[in-house]
Structure 1
């Protein structure tokens, strides 16, 4: 089957949106999810981290692999709605040291998080040692510094690098170059704002046999840019566009072995914390899959290599 993926960015936007299933129905006064989980911190300690998934307006960037729009709204939330969501979540969650406010887009997009809410948000997170938010590199600006000055703890901004492969990055429709990412990262470093980086393992338009190499190169680029943490995300389907690209052989889901190899490289170079995103990961082998996923989970928490899992079933097949 031949590809219908456009070459023009505006046409890509339209194509990506037309592939989508329906978005979920959400209440602008409620976060769509919240939880507390342990994470290995920059201080080399395991600390409880609260994560609040905020309900807000959809991100204006139409990345081909993104499914986060499913839990967003078509319009900007009323002023006061985001603080109300955070307050509601914190009233239900156990104590935590750090907090992530993830909004399926950019915290410093004024159409997503109204700037009028920045001070109330800062008051709500005053007890936390570290606040992590996410933002597209093009929206890293003076608003970040203004907000940083409102909070007591360390501000950390998570940016999606996705891949250091320049041609693949361009095809993802992220509207960003590696130079733009580096400039945003330099701005954060100059202003003492910590950087966390998201990296896709085997994104669309990348051959399976080169995916580990480019995950490694992407980790190198992230740490060269001043990142203190990097999260490896296995590219998943579920947004319509990915399924189309899979049908046209422009995307193949990464194998668990690929994710493991990328994680091993990241921990081996020992340049910063490396996490693997294990959300909804599906083992392909009932015998070795669960212990291999548990190994990755422990490596996330301990930040050290653990012995690989050997499988008689898989070895017999090969």
Structure 2
């Protein structure tokens, strides 16, 4: 590897931050409907609710989700109220994502006493997708699955299997922790999605491509059903600092395209490329609209479409 890896502690990462956005514990900070390829292979409508709650206790090097969190635990009943508020305004959908900028089964983020009411609110959905840290996958997960008729899918951040970069991300997780979490969840018939970074800090372009693909292959080998690949981008303070020192640069759009193409052809499970804000990240790229549309269609159809 051509770039040396540096370790950062929590305080350094916190000091690089800007300010948080103003949020209310009675409202989700965002909600929308989106289409996504289902496990059955056809596009489905998904209601995605970004819940407002206490900040995640893990200080990952690349994370910017803290921007829309509270410093204190939200009041009991606040999370169900946020879900009710969003569902009243969203059109019908068959699946739901409850993303909370951290860990759904962190009791300081989602009050455990709220879980039964949350389960009632999401009963109509055939699939419920939440996010959680591998170290927080415990008996609460299957207990929640038993409260809902739909299939529970838990998204875990694998990030990368690179042996030097993963520890440098300050996630406090080893690959064995991820493997144990996947095994535990699968034993309880809970499906798993993996978040994987394309070109995290300290990797050159070709390495970023290689390790994203290897990380997807590793996740599928454990029984993960879906891999969501996230092009690493600035926005949290720390990544900008690494950009300034030459220890990070955004992946090229051609890398985004080639990684999705390669991983779709693995045919081992669903592969989704995160397209959020790519129109501004790659504003100077040629044929950008057509290229992003192609990526979107590849996400939906799970097939490789000829290049623009």
Q: What TM-score does the superposition give when structure 2 sets the normalisation length?
A: 0.96
Aligned to 1:182: 179
Structure 2 residue aligned with 1:270, among 229, 254, 267?
267
Q: What TM-score does the superposition give when structure 1 sets the normalisation length?
A: 0.93
Contact 2:160 2:211 in 1 (8 A): yes
The answer to which of 286-295 and 135-144 deviates more is 286-295
Contact 2:6 2:168 in 1 (8 A): no
Q: d(CA) in 2 for partners of 1:174 and 1:259?
A: 24
Which ranges in structure 1 are unaligned for 5 or more consecutive residues? 310-318
Q: d(CA) in 2 for partners of 1:154 and 1:102?
A: 16
1:1-318 aligned within 5 A = 7=7, 12-281=9-278, 282-309=281-308
1:13-63 CA-partner distances (Å, limit 9, x unpaired)? 000000000001111000000000111100122110000000000000000
Contact 2:42 2:300 in 1 (8 A): no
Alignment root-mean-square deviation, CA:
1.3
Q: What is the number of residues matched between the two proteins?
A: 303
Q: In the TM superposition, what is the alpha-carbon distance from 1:6 to its structure 2 partner?
A: 6.5
1:230-258 CA-partner distances (Å, limit 9, x unpaired)? 11100010110000011111111111011
Q: Which has the higher contact order (CA 8 A, sep 6+)?
A: 2
Contact 1:6 1:15 in 2 (8 A): no
Which ranges in structure 2 are unaligned for 5 or more consecutive residues? none
Q: In the TM superposition, what is the alpha-carbon distance from 1:283 to its structure 2 partner?
A: 2.7
- Runs of 4+ deviating beyond 4 Å: none
